[in-house]
Structures are given as structure tokens and as C-alpha cells.
Amino acid sequence: MRKSIFYMMVSVLFFAACQPKEVKKSLNDLAIAYVRLGLEIGAYDPVFVDAYYGPDSLKFRGQVADTFPHEALRARVSELKANLDAIASESTSPEEAVMRANWISSQLTAFDRRIRIVAEDYGTFDEEAEDLFGVKIPSYDSAHFIALIDDLDKTLPGEGSLQEREKALTARFAIPKERMDTVFQVAIEAARKITQERFDLPPEETFTLEYVQDKTWSGYNWYQGGYKSLIQINTDHPILVDRVIDLACHEGYPGHHVYNMMLEKNLYVDKGWVEISLYPLFSPQSLIAEGSANFGIDMAFPGEKFDEFAKEVLIPLAGLDTAGSGAYFKYITIKEKLNYARNEAARGIVNGSMSQEEINHWLEDYALITTSVPFIKKYRTYVVNYNYGKDLVKDYIESQSETTDDRWVPLGQLLSNPVIPKDMLPKKE
């Protein structure tokens, strides 16, 4: 007995010596409570936890209640937030502790909002998007999209309606099923090589590629921890050449796979920040994840490089003809800007302010997509991460670099730190 008390005292003293500031100890406890809470919400909300590679001991082992205990969960969020905000505002807190506390606190704002959504206590599109992803989302009226559609009308060759000409052009660049895997492997390898030249990736990093059907998304990275990803590609619809480059960069390099690895290596493994081991899908982290994954396409294949790679490598590899690729690349550029119209359709769905006819109009005539309603119904405001997230990341990285080449340094920092989206906005004068 005596001996064990002695050892306990020694270990307590040792612990105290390693953790000179009381603040650090309690911050770690709060980080653990945050992870436990996120995993418990995930026991009720099947899409809440996108990745978790932390200790098994933090996993939720309790009984899942018959009714979603939203009030109790919200009370825990609120208590945790109050403790973290106290650390962040304490003048003696080390800078690193303030950064961690602020980051976890902003993630918790999203937890609270998501709990309300799961409990069917809905907010407006703007309220939900701001709480979940940490920024205000711009809104565009129909005139904005009509001007883009006019541009597209001039770009699309041939006869017939805009949709008919779009269909005819894109059909020429759809990858035949039997060439799909070869084309994907080459695209991912090229994106990996470009990224490896810029970032020190862990030597054991690897991914598995799978083709799946019957999903609401076109691609998904399931990060497994230990620098491994499972990348799934949905083959429900034809995959065009540009989407292969998009998915290779977005899901892989320097997108989700790299972002998750950089966080795991730099913050979880090297610093022991347990909060990083949980990636909650509905959180400000997703604005940076999707934004950097989409901007990652421009990073790996800036400007002409994208067109060249498609034209010289992927289109021939897919057994397709490069004729018409000029119009196709212009079409892609305009279509990307039209993606903001999906936010407006989502706004209509979330706010209940649009009829089905109006929703279809915004999706089909402006965003030029027909398959998005199930995705929006499931993920609601999440759509903003792809377009606004990309623009936020792009503007932020470009504000910190002079040339295309310079951009890898701020990108590497963004992918390796707990960054809050609102801190990426331009500072007001």
C-alpha cells in the first residue's frame, strides 16, 4: 500500500514537472471531453464522425438511448465551451493553449447546431451554415447566373438547346468503364508526385481505391489514420476526364488524404493533441477540408497545366479524341462558377422557401446538375464548403504568396495547423 502511494506521488510529481502550467493539463482534459462528446453524437448521427483514429478508450461504449438526448448533449457542449473560452481569454494562457481552445470552441459551436438539426430543431440556411462552418455565406441572385449561362451559351459548340449542346460536348470526354481504373491510377500518381515534391509526406502513406455505386456523392475519402485512406469513386454516372483530375487531387493529393495526414503527423503524433484525431463532418474543419481539396486541383495543375495533362495524357489514355477539348476546358471553368447556384437551391430546400419546380430550375438551368437533391437533403448546408470554401482558401493562399510556385508554403501551413475559417478572411482596415 505504502509503496503504491509512494509511486503515485512520484508519478504525480513527475506529471506536474512535465506540465508546468495547470492550464495545459485542463486543456488536455477538455480536449478529451470534446472527443468523447463528438464520438457520442456520432453514435446517434451516422454521418457526424468522418474520421477518428485516436485512442479506443475514448470511443462511446454506453447505451444508445431510444430518444436522442439532445438537451443533455447540448448542455455538455455549453459547459465545455465555457471552460475553453475561459482558457482562451486568460491572459496567462500560453499562445498555443489559446489557439487550441479557440479552435475546439469553434468546432463546438458546430456540434451544438448539428445536435439541433438531428433533433429536427432547424434553423435558416444562413444560421445553420454560419454555425456549422464558421463563416457567412454569400448569396447570388439569378442575374449572376444568367450572365454566366450567357457566356456558356457562346462557348458550347453545335446546334440545339444549351443542355443538348452540353450533353453532346461532355459525352465526348466520358471515360469508358474499362479504362477507368487505368486513367484514375495515372491521374492519382501524377498528383501524388507533384505533391511529394513540395511536402514531406510520411514514407508509409498509402491509399486504397474502390469503385462503388448507389451513393449521393461522386467521390469520398475515408481517412483511416496511420496515413492511410480509403478512396471511393462512385460510378453511378459517367465520369468525365476533368472529374478524374478533380477527384485525384480532391480526395488524394494534395486534398483530403494529405490534409488528414498532415494534421495527424504534425499535431496528433508530434504534439499529442487528441482533439485532432476526431474529424467531425459538420464543423468549420470541413470548410477548410473541402476548400483546400478543391483548391488542391489548381495547386497540382495550375492554369494551362490542367488542360495539358488532360489533353496530352488522360484523354489519349482513355482512348478518346482531343478534338473539341478547347471548348470543353472553357465549359469546365464556367461550370465551376455556376456551382454557387447549388447553394441557392440548398437555401430554398433548407428554408422551405422554394417549390420543387424552383429547386429544379436552380439546379438544372443554373448549376447544370440534375442529381443533387438527395445530397442536399442529407447534407443540407454542407454544399457551401465546395465553392465558398474553395474561394476562401484560394484568396487566403494567394494573399500570402507572390507566384504560383510560392503557394505551397502557406498551403502546407494551412494543412498542418488548427485554423479557424473566419481568421482566413481579409483583415478589416
x/- binding map, residues 407-426, to Zn ion, per CB under 5 A? --------------------
CB of 142 to Zn ion, least distance (A): 28
CB of 195 to Zn ion, least distance (A): 16
Instruction: Give CA 160 to chain center in angstroms.
Output: 37
DSSP string, 304-319: HHHHHHIIIIIHHHTT
Q: Toward Zn ion, which CB reaches closer, 89 or 371? A: 371
Cβ atoms within 10 A of the Cβ of 336, count?
Answer: 17
3-state secondary structure of 230: strand
Q: Which of 61, 203, 79, 144 is nearest to 339 (CA)?
A: 144
DSSP, res 366: I
CB of 241 to Zn ion, least distance (A): 19
CB of 248 to Zn ion, least distance (A): 12
Cis status, amide bond into 280, omega within 30 of 0? no
Nearest-angstrom CA–CA distance, 299 and 148: 24
Helix extents (H) in 172-280? 180-196, 241-247, 256-263
Q: Toward Zn ion, which CB reaches closer, 100 or 114? A: 114
DSSP, res 396: H
Q: Toward Zn ion, which CB reaches closer, 6 or 211? A: 211
Q: Which of 281, 285, 291, 265 is nearest to 103 (CA)?
A: 285
CB of 232 to Zn ion, least distance (A): 11
CB of 207 to Zn ion, least distance (A): 14
Instruction: Give CA 424 to chain center in angstroms.
Output: 16
Site for Zn ion in 195-224 (CB under 5 A): none
CB of 289 to Zn ion, least distance (A): 7
Q: Toward Zn ion, which CB reaches closer, 142 or 234? A: 234
CB of 51 to Zn ion, least distance (A): 12
Instruction: Give CA 104 to chain center in angstroms.
Output: 17
130: left (phi over 0), alpha (psi -120 to 50) or beta: alpha
Q: Toward Zn ion, which CB reaches closer, 244 or 293? A: 293
What is the total count of residues that contact Zn ion (CB under 5 A)? 2
Q: Toward Zn ion, which CB reaches closer, 276 or 289? A: 289
Cell numbers 505533391 label which residue? 195
Nearest-angstrom CA–CA distance, 252 and 191: 8
Q: Toward Zn ion, which CB reaches closer, 166 or 290? A: 290
First-to-last C-alpha distance (Å) of the chain: 65
Instruction: Give CA 28 to chain center in angstroms.
Output: 25
Q: Toward Zn ion, which CB reaches closer, 34 or 220? A: 220
x/- binding map, residues 379-408, to Zn ion, per CB under 5 A? ------------------------------
Q: Which of 179, 150, 177, 175 is nearest to 162 (CA)?
A: 150
Site for Zn ion in 267-306 (CB under 5 A): 290, 293
CB of 290 to Zn ion, least distance (A): 5
Site for Zn ion in 231-260 (CB under 5 A): none
- Neighbouring C-alpha atoms within 13 Å toward the C-beta of 241: 28
CB of 256 to Zn ion, least distance (A): 6
Instruction: Give CA 50 to chain center in angstroms.
Output: 10
Site for Zn ion in 123-162 (CB under 5 A): none
Instruction: List beta partners, residue 219.
Output: 233
Q: Toward Zn ion, which CB reaches closer, 103 or 220? A: 220
Q: Which of 80, 36, 81 is nearest to 54 (CA)?
A: 36
Q: Toward Zn ion, which CB reaches closer, 264 or 290? A: 290
Residues that bind Zn ion (CB under 5 A): 290, 293
